């Protein structure tokens, strides 16, 4: 009997070890999203026309008639995004006010009740068409957690005295999401700012809708049982924590401004749920997310480039907030700044001195042929196979010996090291801890 018990225990131990070693890998949607690297998010709402509006002052929402952009041009928005290097764009179709930029059937507080295009316009439709025209992948933000018009406060609860019951509001959410996910084609990313009120707490059942209507979209802070989840990185500054693993024990559900635990991810996490670093390119009023004529300041080109290094360069995507003014255009100064950023970033990351691709080895040497100045290294894992690297170091051949110049933990899609300038003929990459055989998709050295 003891022999059989021992055999059973050994079997169970082996099973648990196998489970612990099992690789968690990204979906094809996750891979495409990581490869996109840079996205933008456009905010445009009634608050642009009534800057002192506070959405949590129930019943104080401005009338839909206040919303009337005279020059709205979504082509201009997307051209601006593309000049900055963005591969995808997210439209805030409904923010906390509850005003909806498409003619929703869920309630009257929407674009069809505004004078813009005599109530026959649809900004979501125009946005999607512009994305298609310029080859930018479209995304939609529609907050389920807040709605000033319907007296709904974070995290998606109808407040006492509101015009609807919680169940009625849940149906509004499902109606609006069904419209956005059914009527405008395939979406690249879906944004839930502040997450979704869980079903156990009285919230709407969203996951089946996602599975049915937009199964291939990546989902920011969506319901925990949804596919293709991505998570918040803990701030609105374009600065991911380090280490920053794509694997995680859970997704995040927060207001977007409160730091919570677990934001580094977990190299042994049970789900693939990478981080997205969202931040506005303006500072000041409304956090810089919405346009105001005064009281805001643009980030500099150097600040924007640095944000790329601390987001994409730390295995996160970069989602840059772009404002739209009351005329319906991205302001000229913002357009110019984004074009400058795009050019500066291309210059910084596009011309390596030497590169190597697809190295399935724990150690390899990049021979520069001649003595070269270098001060930047960019590399990444083939994430289709998972995150296999746990620790690494980079050494350079200096004065007849190998000298360590950089080291780290997480790599994922992309890791960037900026260095003091050194002169060397060889760079060696060494994986000191890994799970399985690490596969480096690319490894490049630069002088910038």
Q: What is the pLDDT of residue 311?
A: 98
Cα separations in angstroms, 402 against 300, 394, 443? 38, 9, 18
Task: Calculate helix-pair angle for 74-83, 123-134, nearest 10 degrees.
Answer: 40
The pTM assigned to this predicted structure is 0.93
Do residues 282 and 323 touch, judged by C-beta distance below 8 A? yes
Q: What is the pLDDT of residue 256?
A: 39
Give DSSP secondary structure letters for 255-280: -SSS--S-TT--TT-SEE--EEEEEE
19's CB contacts (< 8 A; 6+ apart) are: none
Q: Which residues does residue 37 pair with via DSSP β-bridges, in sequence order?
A: none
pLDDT tens digit sequence for 187-198: 999 999 888 898
Do residues 431 and 362 touch, judged by C-beta distance below 8 A? yes
Q: What is the pLDDT of residue 251?
A: 66
Question: Residue ranges of the chain with pLDDT lower than 50?
Answer: 1-20, 254-258
**What is the rounded CA–CA span in Å between residue 381 and residue 385?**
8
Place of tokens 């980030």: 299
Do residues 206 and 196 touch, judged by C-beta distance below 8 A? yes
pLDDT tens digit sequence for 412-439: 999 999 999 999 999 999 999 999 999 9
Q: Which fold has domain 354-446?
A: Jelly Rolls (2.60.120)
Looking at beta carbons, which pairs linking 247-251 to residues 24 or more positions away fall under 8 Å?
Answer: 247/24, 247/271, 247/272, 247/273, 247/386, 247/387, 248/272, 248/273, 250/224, 251/221, 251/222, 251/224
Q: What is the pLDDT of residue 261?
A: 63
Return the domain boundaries, the chain. Answer: 28-349, 354-446
Q: Look at strands 275-280 and 317-323 and give their pairing.
A: parallel
Q: What is the pLDDT of residue 263?
A: 86
CATH 3.30.70.270 fits 28-349, yes or no: no
């Amino acid at each position: 009997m003891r022999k059989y018990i021992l055999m059973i225990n050994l079997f169970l131990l082996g099973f648990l070890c196998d489970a612990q070693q099992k690789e968690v890998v990204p979906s094809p949607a996750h891979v495409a999203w990581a490869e996109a690297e840079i996205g933008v998010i456009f905010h445009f709402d009634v608050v642009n026309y009534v800057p002192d509006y506070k959405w949590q002052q129930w019943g104080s929402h401005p009338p839909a008639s206040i919303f009337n952009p005279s020059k709205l041009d979504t082509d201009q928005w997307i051209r601006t995004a593309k000049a900055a290097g963005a591969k995808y764009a997210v439209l805030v179709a409904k923010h906390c006010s509850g005003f909806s930029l498409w003619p929703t059937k869920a309630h009257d507080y929407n674009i069809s009740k505004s004078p813009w295009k005599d109530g026959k316009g649809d900004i979501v439709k125009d946005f999607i068409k512009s994305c298609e025209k310029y080859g930018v992948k479209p995304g939609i933000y529609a907050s389920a957690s807040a709605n000033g018009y319907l007296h709904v406060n974070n995290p998606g609860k109808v407040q006492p005295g509101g015009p609807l019951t919680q169940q009625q509001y849940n149906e509004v959410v499902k109606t609006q999401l069904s419209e956005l996910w059914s009527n405008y084609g395939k979406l690249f990313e879906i944004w839930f700012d502040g997450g979704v009120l869980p079903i156990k707490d009285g919230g709407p059942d969203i996951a089946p809708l996602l599975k049915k209507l937009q199964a291939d979209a990546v989902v920011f802070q969506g319901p925990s049982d949804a596919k293709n989840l991505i998570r918040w990185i803990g701030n609105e500054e374009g600065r991911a924590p380090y280490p920053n693993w794509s694997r995680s024990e859970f997704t995040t559900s927060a207001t977007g401004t409160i730091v919570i635990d677990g934001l580094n991810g977990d190299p042994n996490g049970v789900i693939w749920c990478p981080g997205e670093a969202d931040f506005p390119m303006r500072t000041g009023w409304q956090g810089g997310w919405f346009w105001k004529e005064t009281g805001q300041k643009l980030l500099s080109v150097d600040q924007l480039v640095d944000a790329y290094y601390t987001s994409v360069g730390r295995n996160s995507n970069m989602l840059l907030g772009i404002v739209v003014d009351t005329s319906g255009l991205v302001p000229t100064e913002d357009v110019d700044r984004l074009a400058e950023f795009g050019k500066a970033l291309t210059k910084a990351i596009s011309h390596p001195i030497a590169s190597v691709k697809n190295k399935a080895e724990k150690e390899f040497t990049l021979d520069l042929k001649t003595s070269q100045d270098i001060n930047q290294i960019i590399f990444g894992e083939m994430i289709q196979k998972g995150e296999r690297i746990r620790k690494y170091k980079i050494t350079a051949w200096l004065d007849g010996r190998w000298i360590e110049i950089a080291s780290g933990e997480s790599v994922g899609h992309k890791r960037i090291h900026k260095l003091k300038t050194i002169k060397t003929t060889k760079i060696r990459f060494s994986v000191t801890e890994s799970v399985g055989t690490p596969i480096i998709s690319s490894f490049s050295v630069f002088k910038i």
